[in-house]
Structure 1
Amino acid sequence: MPPRRYAFGRADEATHPDSMRATLAEFFSTCIFVFAGEGSVLALDKMHKDTSTTPARLVMIALAHGLSLFSAVASSINVSGGHLNPAVTFGALVGGRITLIRAVYYWVAQLLGSIVACLLLLVAAGMRPAGFYVASGVGELRGLLLEIVLTYGLVYTVYATAIDPKRGSLGTIAPLAIGLIFSANILVGGPFDGGAMNPAGAFGPALVGWRWNNHWIYWVGPLIGGGLAGLIYEYMVIPAEPPHHTHQPLAPEDY
């Protein structure tokens, strides 16, 4: 992981092969994640006419999302960092761990990956993506707060296991930890607002299924939560990075 710095990005970064590879990794991995996650919802709708939230249905959806996110992050973490989520990318951006150019590339790739996944589901399954919405009686403000808290927990976990320079061998379990916290958060937020925690994951189903109810909270909430997690972990948890010396220190015998 590069040292903390805030930068727009080098002039050659926009066309550098590493940027292209990382962007493609974000696109394909996001597509894999959304296809399996949203597809699990459609599969349950196909098997059962009753689409109300039941404990078994909630557990199955949470498990499908967690397993698919685990696999998608593991397949891209060595190339792009395994963000798959505009909120994660935003957290890394405000923490100075990614340039603005790379962040914009990731955002475009994540949104396109989600859209393509939902289009594939529409063609293959013949069903409109269900998308996300706030449950009756919950209210948009409560849904917004829930998305902030859930996404904070997700991005904090990403920082601790995948971004923190001091993570050491903990980085080997980053995909598993990220998948587990995502599943756990769906078990909490699913009955209330679906537990999106991902603007791209909410945008694809909303666009392809044309379901825009309460959609704004799935952008504002995750971006606030992800940004807060990035700032808090970066400046309150990660130790201050030592200054970069431009000279060689003196040998002990020269003191």
Structure 2
Amino acid sequence: MGNFQEVLGINEVSSSKVMNTVWKALLAEFLGNFLLNFFGCGSVVVMSFSEPNKPNFLLVSFTFGLVVFVCVQALGHVSGAHLNPAVTAGMLSVGNIKAVKAILYIIVQCLGALAGSATLKALLPEDWHNTGLGMTMLNGKINALQGFGFEFFLGFVLVLVVSGVCDPNRPEAKAAGPLAIGLAVALGHMGAINFTGSSMNPARTFGSAVIAGIWDNHWVYWVGPIAGGIVAALIYHHALRAPTLPSSKIIES
């Protein structure tokens, strides 16, 4: 039974001493997703008022990239700053987080995104609520399977970057990690926002969907990024990891 609890990570949430650290991590994940939806979806609302033929996709891309950069920089030491069920699923697939903790992360990520979108809606004039409040939707010329493909590769590139900068045998990448992750998010938005809205993040879309009441093709925004994230994590873990550093190098870093 003890081994079973250790594999699932039940021991991480059953000890009062450890739970204090877990609660801090859950709070960090909640806050990160709150800020992501509040500022990121806010930029989408602003874009809705651009000239009809000149939507400001760069504004949205850099806003999402910057808010992720800021949150990873501020909260990474507390929870690892997953901020995304696709990242959490990827880390779970290679054993970097236990199952129970991963489930708790995903729950609070969704709650944080929901709270961020709800707060955004509460602060906006009522006649702005019909903008969709930052909801991600498929382009009318893109079908659900194609949308899945785009979201798969969005989750893939994000988790590939996360895996690379968090590799313990690449200490030189640690300082640039938050910026690299933020730029990966900006890249994903610039490359695919006109196809799927470039979610990359199931929690981000879930929060928007609840508040906007739009659930069209919602599965795409869960299955796509999570599948891509798991594949990227497995490829990096089994084929691309940096060679193990000598113990002296690890101590120095």
- TM bin (shorter chain): 0.7 to 0.9
Q: Say whether the 8 Å CA contact 2:61–2:189 is kept in structure 1.
A: yes
TM-score, structure 1 length as denominator? 0.86
2-structure distance, mates of 1:18, 1:168: 24
Q: Which amino acid aligns with 1:7?
A: V
1:176-222 per-residue CA deviation (whole Å, 9 max, x = no partner) reads 00110111111111111111110001000001100111111000101
How many residue pairs end up in the alignment?
Answer: 232
Which aligned segments of 4 or more residues in structure 1 are displaced greater than 4 angstroms?
239-242
Deviations 1:93-143 (A, max 9, x none): 001000111101110110000000010011001343230111011111111
Letter in 2 for 1:112: L
Tell me how far apart the structure 2 counterparts of residues 106 and 240 of structure 1 sit (CA, whole Å).
30
Residue 220 of structure 2 aligns with an amino acid whose one-letter code is: I
* Mapped pair 1:9 → 2:18: no
Equivalence map 1:71-110=2 (5 Å):
71-110=70-109
Give the Cα–Cα distance (whole angstroms) in 2 for the partners of residues 240 and 61 of structure 1: 37
Does the 8 Å CA contact 2:50/2:56 hold for their aligned counterparts? no
CA contact under 8 A between 2:42 and 2:134: conserved in structure 1? no
Q: Please, which runs of 5 or more residues in structure 2 have no aligned partner?
A: 1-5, 246-253
Q: Which amino acid aligns with 1:65?
A: F
Once the two structures are TM-superposed, the CA of residue 60 in structure 1 deviates from its matched residue by: 0.9
Structure number with bigger Rg: 1
Instruction: Please state whether the residue corresponding to 1:213 is helix, strand or coil.
Output: coil
8 Å CA contact 1:196–1:202 kept in 2: the answer is yes
Aligned counterpart, 1:145: 149
Q: Alpha carbons of 1:17 and 1:59: their partners in 2 closer, same or farther (altered >3 Å)? A: same
Aligned equivalents of 1:77, 1:130: Cα separation in 2: 25
Structure 1 runs not aligned, ≥5 long = 1-5, 243-255
TM-score w.r.t. the length of structure 2 is: 0.87
Determine if the alignment matches structure 1 residue 42 to structure 2 residue 53.
no
Identity over aligned residues, as a percent? 32
- Is 2:193 the partner of 1:194? no
Q: In structure 2, what is the equivalent of residue 220 of structure 1?
A: 223
Per the TM alignment, residue 240 of structure 1 is displaced from its structure 2 partner at its CA by: 7.9
Residue identity opposite 1:151 in structure 2? G
Superposed CA RMSD in Å reads 1.8
| Cα distance in 1 for residues equivalent to 2:238 and 2:116 | 36
